[in-house]
């Protein structure tokens, strides 16, 4: 039988998360150090590790929460009318995911694709993203010869590719939208060969 979590434990964890969010707000995700978090929370370093396995575990929670907040906005948006509308609706999320190279790297490492031992917050957002996009694609003016679920997986994969190009020295002259548009047009609205 699991023991109930004590209020003090929950409050300490909340203080750690608040302190981490304060560091991120001031200096960004990449600048966050465990030492800053424990100092801001007023706890010992050992207390941090009693709540989080490592810095990545904290980042998983922080970044996953931000992705979820963007998914809340996306989920309440109307069904996109076309590829450009779809991209415009997804862009705030994609911009966050590429706001720092470090954030993008953490997302890729903790997405579940890297065979991590434990499914965390970021990996759960990938599943949620696929569900939201699949619903749009089922209701929208997109191709119907492929299931909405497979189409959503393709949108996600092409989004990752377009985001990766943002950090590529050979391809970073184009915007994220410019990188993503040709992939999604070809995938969601293929044209017959002429």
Closest CA to 64 of 134, 116, 9, 3: 116
Q: Which domain holds residue 2?
A: 1-52
- Together in a domain, 117 and 36: no
Q: Between vectors from CA 27 to CA 24 and to CA 177, what angle results, nearest 5°? A: 80
- Together in a domain, 30 and 114: no
- Together in a domain, 106 and 36: no
Whether the CB-CB separation of 93 and 71 falls below 8 Å is answered with yes
Q: How far apart are CA 36 and CA 77, in angstroms?
A: 37
Residuewise pLDDT in 10s, the chain (194 residues): 455 557 787 899 999 999 999 999 999 999 999 999 999 999 999 999 999 999 999 999 999 999 999 999 999 999 999 999 999 999 999 999 999 999 999 999 888 755 555 678 999 998 899 999 999 899 888 999 999 999 999 999 999 999 999 998 777 788 999 999 999 999 999 888 76
- Together in a domain, 34 and 64: no
Q: Quote the number of domains for the chain.
A: 2
3-state secondary structure (DSSP) of residue 144: coil
Q: Is the dihedral of CA 71, 75, 78, 82 positive or negative?
A: positive
pTM of the entire predicted model: 0.88
Q: How far apart are CA 28 and CA 17, in angstroms?
A: 14
């Amino acid at each position: 039988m699991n023991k109930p979590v004590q209020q003090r434990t929950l409050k300490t964890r909340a203080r750690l998360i608040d302190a981490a969010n304060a560091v991120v707000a001031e200096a960004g995700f990449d600048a966050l150090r465990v030492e800053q978090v424990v100092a801001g929370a007023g706890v010992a370093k050992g207390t941090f590790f009693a709540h989080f396995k490592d810095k990545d575990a904290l980042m998983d929670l922080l970044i996953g929460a931000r992705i979820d907040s963007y998914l809340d906005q996306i989920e309440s948006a109307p069904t996109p009318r076309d590829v450009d509308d779809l991209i415009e609706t997804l862009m705030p999320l994609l911009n966050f995911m590429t706001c720092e190279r470090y954030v993008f790297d953490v997302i890729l490492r903790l997405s579940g694709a890297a065979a991590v031992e434990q499914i965390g917050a970021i990996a759960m957002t990938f599943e949620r993203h696929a569900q939201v996009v699949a619903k749009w694609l089922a209701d929208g003016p997109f191709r119907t010869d492929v299931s909405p679920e497979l189409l959503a997986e393709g949108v996600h994969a092409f989004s990752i590719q377009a985001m990766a190009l943002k950090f590529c020295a050979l391809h970073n002259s184009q915007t994220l939208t410019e990188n993503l548009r040709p992939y999604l047009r070809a995938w969601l609205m293929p044209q017959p060969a002429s």
